[in-house]
Amino acid sequence: MDNLYKNILDFTNRHNSCPFCKSPLDYLFTNYIGFKSNGSAIISSSLSSGLFYFNMKNYKINLMINAENNLLEVLNYSESDNMSHIKNFLEQLGPHVEAYCTNDKCDSIYSYSIRTDLFRFKLTDFKNKLGMNPFIMDSETFIIDNFWIKNDWIEDSLKIYKKNDESGPVIGKLLKLNNLHADVVKQKIMTLISFY
């Protein structure tokens, strides 16, 4: 299946550069945007050497996700930690990976981002580790001129919203951005917008 990723490494390999400027992406393990602590995301961890490190203060635990084998490990595990509770709490936060273009100039123009669907975890034979199920992509978003564009992988469609315009989006076919030159992407969007 085109939109199924067996692990985070599979995702970062298949989406390894910005479709507009080909700069590398910065990958962030984070939570659903609505859940914040003191105004910022509860979880926000950049991928470094194939690993994400973060902590969950209410459980006083430090965690590590290995992008290659999909194992989430409690680094300071103690026998009183309940992995089922940790799993449920984590899933309620809406965990996923978002990636952004690392080229500031490109980011200020296109503001490209890509995000996975929410992750689901499972208990394993290791007392201090959870496994992570394969996942799908949620969406890519970017800006072209006055338009905010969402490539919606779950609904298999492209949605184009005009800034400061309440009317519904123009809907087209999902764009496989990785296979297209940036100029072609822009041309396709402009053609769709011209009927707007």
Binding site for Zn ion (CB under 5 A): 18, 20-21, 23, 101, 103, 106
Rounded to a whole number of angstroms, the minimum distance from the CB of residue 106 to Zn ion is 3
Closest to 183 in 3D by CA, of 14, 13, 22, 17: 22
Rounded to a whole number of angstroms, the minimum distance from the CB of residue 13 to Zn ion is 18
Rounded to a whole number of angstroms, the minimum distance from the CB of residue 190 to Zn ion is 19
Contact criterion met (CB below 8 Å) for 50 and 68: yes
Round to whole Å and give the CA distance between 113 and 186: 16
Q: Token pair for residue 41?
A: 């995301």
Nearer to Zn ion, 16 or 76 (CB): 16
Q: Token pair for residue 170?
A: 């123009």
Burial class (CB in 10 A: 0-12, 13-18, 19+), 86: buried
Nearer to Zn ion, 5 or 142 (CB): 142
Round to whole Å and give the CA distance between 103 and 26: 10
Round to whole Å and give the CA distance between 138 and 117: 5
Nearer to Zn ion, 23 or 157 (CB): 23
Rounded to a whole number of angstroms, the minimum distance from the CB of residue 9 to Zn ion is 21
Rounded to a whole number of angstroms, the minimum distance from the CB of residue 18 to Zn ion is 3
Nearer to Zn ion, 100 or 161 (CB): 100
Nearer to Zn ion, 90 or 99 (CB): 99
What are the distances in angstroms from CA 167 to CA 156, 160, 172, 194? 21, 11, 16, 16
